[in-house]
Structure 1
Amino acid sequence: MSEPVSAYGMGALFKAFGLGIIIAVALALVYLVVIMTRMPRTRQEWAVGLITTVVSSLAGGSFLIVKYQLHAWGADVYGMMALGGFYFACGLPGWAIVRWVFNFINQREGATIIDVVREVKDEIQK
């Protein structure tokens, strides 16, 4: 049995930092999943993957929580874990979207902006 002061202190710490800890764990896990499924070819790609995963997790997860008013879920541990799932799920597509955009840009490196706009416009009209 633990002493009441230490137990209370740990409970207060978890209450204060619990969501932050769960968000950090969700970010770490989503980054590991992304890296393990699609290994980066260079250090730059590794850095882009890390930054993109973190930003898409935080922005996407926060968007869902605010959009659907899920703030009350953070009141207990299980609700915080559920919110961590939103952060995890929103981080997965981030790196893929950025890679697609950069691959598109790299394929058209010598083209002018007008050529790129015409190509995108033609693809949209199909």
Structure 2
Amino acid sequence: MDLKDVIAQAVGLQPELRRLLIDIVENAGSGGPVTVTWGDITGKPSTFAPAAHTHTAAQISDASTVGRQVLTGADAAAIRSALAIPAAPSNGTAAQLEAGTDTTGRLFSAKMIHDEIARQIAANTP
């Protein structure tokens, strides 16, 4: 038994892999190329389905500071802040709409706007 056989048996390789190891040792020692084909590999699974797993934000090495803040944001407000998105405007009241002096962005329902327009038309009709 030569060194190649001793190594192959010591690591308990299947006969096909033992033959491959011997080929590699012989060719590598001579400086020649070693070719291993997919068919030479035995005992491989037929499919390589991804296993479920997770990564922490810190493990994503190419994430920007903002990207990391979005990934780790405690809530929607923190994520909006990281992205510099202003908070959604609050709902306005009929009194604010009637006064017409509010400079803060507000949301008014279509009915509220309709009713205010109808009020102003009625107030200005001779």
TM-score normalised per structure 1? 0.22
Larger RCO, structures 1/2 (Cα 8 Å, 6+ apart): 1
TM-score scaled by structure 2? 0.22
